[in-house]
Amino acid sequence: MSKVIADLLYSAEHEWVAGNGGGPVAIGITAVATDALGDIVYVDLPEVGDTVTAGETCGEVESTKSVSDLYAPVTGEVVETNADVVDSPELINSDPYGNGWLFKVAVTEEGPLMSAEEYAAANGGEL
């Protein structure tokens, strides 16, 4: 699988954002991040109803080797979280852009986001 997928937007902190025609956006972490983290064993997500702020921490991702902050790539209200990844954090490794999504936000303001090309270039890779 490619480490970076076209049609998504990316933050410098390795989150991806999937637009949805003006509806809530899905957010996850990229394969670049999961590769660097190693096997993820625990994830702490914001709760439904929380307001997250672009560029600020909103949770934690813990792998066998380390703990990393989860940064919100956009500002808005959390409308849904993925209970499957809380129970089975390995989904984030196996399918970071699919079943490993983390939460959905009704966006009031976008953070600084990159295109797939820009994100791939920033991480020394290609699409």
Partner 1 sequence: MTENYTALYEQHKKAGASFTDFGGWQMPLKYSSELSEHHSVRKAAGLFDLSHMGEVWVTGPDAAAFLDYALAGKLSAVAVGKAKYSLICQPDGGIIDDLITYRLPAAADGTAKYLVVPNAGNAPVVAAELTERAANFNVTVDDVSAETSLIAVQGPNAETILLTLVPADQHSLVTELKYYAAVEVGITVNGAVKQLLLARTGYTGEDGFEIYVPNVDAPELWEALLEAGEGHGLIPAGLASRDSLRLEAGMPLYGNELSREGNPYAAGLGPVVSLAKESDFVGKTALAELKADGAGSTTGRKLVGLKGLGRRAGRSHYPVLKDGNVVGEVTSGQPSPTLGYPIALAYVDVELSEPGTALDIDLRGKAEPFEVVSLPFYKRSK
Side chain identity, residue 8: L
Which CB atom, from 2 or from 64, has the smaller least distance to partner 1? 64
User: Residue 111: which residues within 8 A CB-CB, separation 6 or more?
Assistant: 11, 54, 55, 72, 73, 74, 75
User: How many Å is the Cα radius of gyration of the chain?
Assistant: 13
Which CB atom, from 31 or from 114, has the smaller least distance to partner 1? 31
Q: How far apart are CA 4 and CA 62, in angstroms?
A: 22
Which CB atom, from 67 or from 122, has the smaller least distance to partner 1? 67
Q: Are residues 8 and 97 in contact, defined by beta-carbon separation less than 8 angstroms? A: yes
Element (H, E) at 92: helix 90-94
> How far apart are CB 84 and partner 1 at their closest, in Å?
16
> How far apart are CB 47 and partner 1 at their closest, in Å?
16
Q: How far apart are CA 112 and CA 66, in angstroms?
A: 26
Query: Which residues sit at the interface with partner 1, rule CB under 8 A?
Result: 35, 38-39, 41-42, 62, 64-67, 90, 93
> How far apart are CB 22 and partner 1 at their closest, in Å?
36
Which CB atom, from 73 or from 89, has the smaller least distance to partner 1? 89
> How far apart are CB 9 and partner 1 at their closest, in Å?
26
